[in-house]
């Protein structure tokens, strides 16, 4: 055992000396592996970061949350022309679901409307996202009100002119002053600020609650009406925890079909979108991106492997005389084999480390310029990157190492003279 360890150590030392004495050749060999590892880890890190950011953006909602509307979150077999004929969900349907649906934790009616301008005295903020929702929305999403409160059921039903604003809106309009009780102007009406949401940070698509305001949906319904195509409604449903969600969804579909008077042979003219299905869809997309990116990176790494193999064959030819002398002095085939294998693997590992360092450096710089979006360089990605580099080095070094170990000492010395 000690003899084998000594052989490994001496082979390793010979490999290090060979790399040290041929700096330009070593650099060119490293370059191919570095680019390959950079491609693989860079793609995997970018996909992981994108996936993490998407999940972070929807983390405040439970995976069991259900969206009832005439649009589908993902691909559907229903033709577009037929989807365009689907009616919008209505406030009456929201009330019917709230009244009759069992195992219901919370349900809210919302309107999607265009951004507006909000004013307070001489201060103005443009392009503000408006979220007209019922008071139940507070129980569906993990809203954190740091000042004041959210509007109650009475204010929601009556459509009271009250408003809950995001952190950035509060800072832009009021600065360091307390906004609670202040009057702001929106839709040409005055609203009383009753609450300020906790600072959230920018989301992946810029959809942060920091730049959002929430108002009772019935107030906005009086402005837009129930048949205005400038806004489209949705019903957001959160079932009780621990229930059978597929059974809940089936019951919900049956109730909506019955309310709309659909016949048994007619298809659903609405979509029940589950957040879990959306996250699964995102997982599938990011998984496909990781696979495609991995294959592209592997091709780059394969080119680097060919570069290492080519350099190693040149190295064997240059050191034929030295190999012959080593064998004449009693060096075993294993010693020669390990010497060139170690040289190829060390080249690949060094190239991989440089590639990892470049990905880490670029991820730091990118995170600085993208605000709240953080690039993730996970330990698993680093492990698989280095593992791939090691395997490529091993494969690239096998043929040159075997050819070197099989050289006849006399012929090798004569060839090298």
Rounded CA separation 81/308 (Å)? 57
DSSP string, 216-281: EHHHHHHHH-SS-TTSEEEEEEEEPTTS-HHHHHHHHHHHHHHHHT--TTSPPSSEEEEHHHHHHH
Query: Is there a contact between 345 and 394 (Cβ–Cβ < 8 Å)?
Result: yes
The most distant pair of C-alpha atoms in the chain lies apart, rounded to whole Å, by 101
**Which residues, including other chains, have CB under 8 Å from residue 127's CB and lie 6 or more apart?**
115, 117, 211
DSSP string, 345-388: HHHHHHHHHHHHHHHHHHHHHHHHHSTT------HHHHHHHHHH
Q: Domain check: are 298 and 411 in the same one?
A: yes
Quote the pLDDT of residue 3: 59
Domain boundary among 206, 240, 269: 269
- The sign of the torsion formed by the CA atoms of 310, 311, 313, 314 equals positive
Quote the pLDDT of residue 295: 74
Dihedral angle computed from the Cα positions of residues 286, 292, 296 and 301, in that order, rounded to the nearest 10 degrees: 70
User: Is 70 part of a structural domain of the chain?
Assistant: no
Q: Domain check: are 121 and 220 in the same one?
A: yes
Q: Domain check: are 339 and 286 in the same one?
A: yes
| pTM beyond cutoff 0.75 | no
Q: Which domain holds residue 119?
A: 87-269
Which residue do the tokens 């319904």 mark?
221
Nearest by Cα to 86 from 356, 347, 266 = 266
User: Is 66 part of a structural domain of the chain?
Assistant: no
User: Is 342 part of a structural domain of the chain?
Assistant: yes
Domain boundary among 206, 234, 269: 269
Query: Is there a contact between 57 and 207 (Cβ–Cβ < 8 Å)?
Result: yes
Q: Domain check: are 123 and 174 in the same one?
A: yes
Q: Domain check: are 292 and 256 in the same one?
A: no
Q: Domain check: are 183 and 291 in the same one?
A: no
Query: Is there a contact between 42 and 385 (Cβ–Cβ < 8 Å)?
Result: no
User: Is 392 part of a structural domain of the chain?
Assistant: yes
Quote the pLDDT of residue 53: 65
Query: Is there a contact between 309 and 400 (Cβ–Cβ < 8 Å)?
Result: yes
Q: Domain check: are 238 and 288 in the same one?
A: no
Helix (H) or strand (E) holding 186: strand 183-186
- Cβ-count burial 212-226 (b if 16+ within 10 Å, e if not): bbbbbbbbbbeebee
Domain boundary among 248, 269, 290: 269
Quote the pLDDT of residue 73: 76
Q: Domain check: are 338 and 410 in the same one?
A: yes
Q: Domain check: are 334 and 256 in the same one?
A: no
Quote the pLDDT of residue 369: 66
Q: Domain check: are 38 and 163 in the same one?
A: no
Q: Domain check: are 361 and 253 in the same one?
A: no
User: Is 75 part of a structural domain of the chain?
Assistant: no
User: Is 78 part of a structural domain of the chain?
Assistant: no
**Overall domain count for the chain:** 2
Rounded CA separation 91/230 (Å)? 16
Rounded CA separation 124/287 (Å)? 43
Quote the pLDDT of residue 360: 81
| pLDDT tens over the chain, length 417 residues | 565 566 566 656 666 666 676 677 667 667 777 777 777 777 777 777 766 666 655 555 556 788 999 888 777 888 888 888 888 899 999 999 999 998 888 999 999 888 899 998 888 999 889 999 999 998 888 788 899 999 999 999 999 999 999 999 999 998 888 999 999 999 889 999 999 998 876 654 446 788 889 999 999 988 887 777 777 899 999 988 888 888 998 999 999 999 999 888 889 888 888 866 556 666 676 677 667 766 776 776 777 777 777 777 777 776 677 767 767 777 777 777 777 777 777 777 877 888 888 888 877 777 666 655 566 677 777 787 788 778 888 887 787 777 777 776 666 666 655
Q: Domain check: are 214 and 314 in the same one?
A: no
User: Is 67 part of a structural domain of the chain?
Assistant: no
Q: DSSP assignment, residue 5?
A: H
User: Is 72 part of a structural domain of the chain?
Assistant: no
């Amino acid at each position: 055992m000690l003899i084998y360890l000594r052989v490994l150590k001496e082979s390793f030392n010979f490999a290090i000396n060979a790399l040290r004495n041929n700096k330009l050749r070593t650099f060119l060999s490293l370059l191919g592996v570095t680019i390959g590892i950079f491609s693989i880890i860079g793609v995997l890190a970018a996909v992981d970061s994108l996936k993490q950011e998407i999940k972070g953006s929807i983390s405040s909602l439970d995976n069991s949350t259900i969206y009832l509307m005439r649009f589908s979150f993902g691909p559907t077999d229903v033709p577009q022309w037929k989807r365009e004929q689907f009616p919008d969900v209505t406030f009456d349907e929201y009330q019917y679901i709230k009244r009759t649906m069992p195992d219901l934790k919370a349900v809210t009616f919302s309107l999607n409307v265009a951004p507006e301008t909000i004013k307070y005295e001489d201060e103005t903020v443009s392009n503000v996202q408006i979220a007209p929702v019922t008071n139940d929305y507070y129980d569906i999403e993990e809203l954190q009100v740091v000042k004041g409160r959210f509007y109650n059921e009475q204010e929601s039903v009556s459509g009271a002119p009250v408003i809950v604003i995001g952190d950035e809106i509060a800072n832009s309009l009021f600065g360091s002053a307390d906004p609670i009780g202040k009057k702001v102007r929106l839709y040409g009406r005055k609203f009383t600020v009753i609450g300020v949401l906790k600072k959230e940070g920018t989301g992946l698509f810029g959809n942060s609650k920091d730049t959002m305001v929430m108002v009772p949906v019935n107030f906005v319904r009086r402005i837009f009406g129930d048949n205005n195509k400038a806004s489209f409604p949705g019903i957001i449903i959160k079932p009780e925890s621990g229930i059978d969600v597929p059974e809940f969804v089936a019951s919900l579909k049956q109730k909506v079909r019955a309310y709309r008077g659909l016949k048994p042979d007619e298809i659903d003219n609405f979509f029940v979108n589950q957040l879990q299905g959306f996250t699964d869809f995102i997982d599938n997309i990011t998984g496909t991106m990781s696979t495609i990116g991995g294959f592209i990176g592997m091709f780059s790494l394969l080119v680097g492997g060919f570069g290492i193999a080519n350099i190693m064959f040149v190295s064997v030819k240059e050191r034929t005389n030295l190999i012959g002398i080593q064998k004449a002095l009693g060096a075993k085939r294993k010693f020669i084999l390990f010497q060139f294998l170690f040289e190829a693997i060390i080249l690949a590992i060094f190239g991989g480390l440089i590639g990892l360092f470049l990905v880490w450096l670029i991820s730091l710089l990118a995170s600085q310029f993208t605000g709240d979006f953080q690039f993730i360089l996970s330990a698993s990605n680093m492990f698989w990157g280095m593992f791939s580099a090691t395997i490529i080095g091993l494969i690239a070094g096998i043929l040159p190492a075997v050819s070197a170990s099989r050289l006849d000492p006399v012929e090798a010395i004569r060839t090298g003279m």
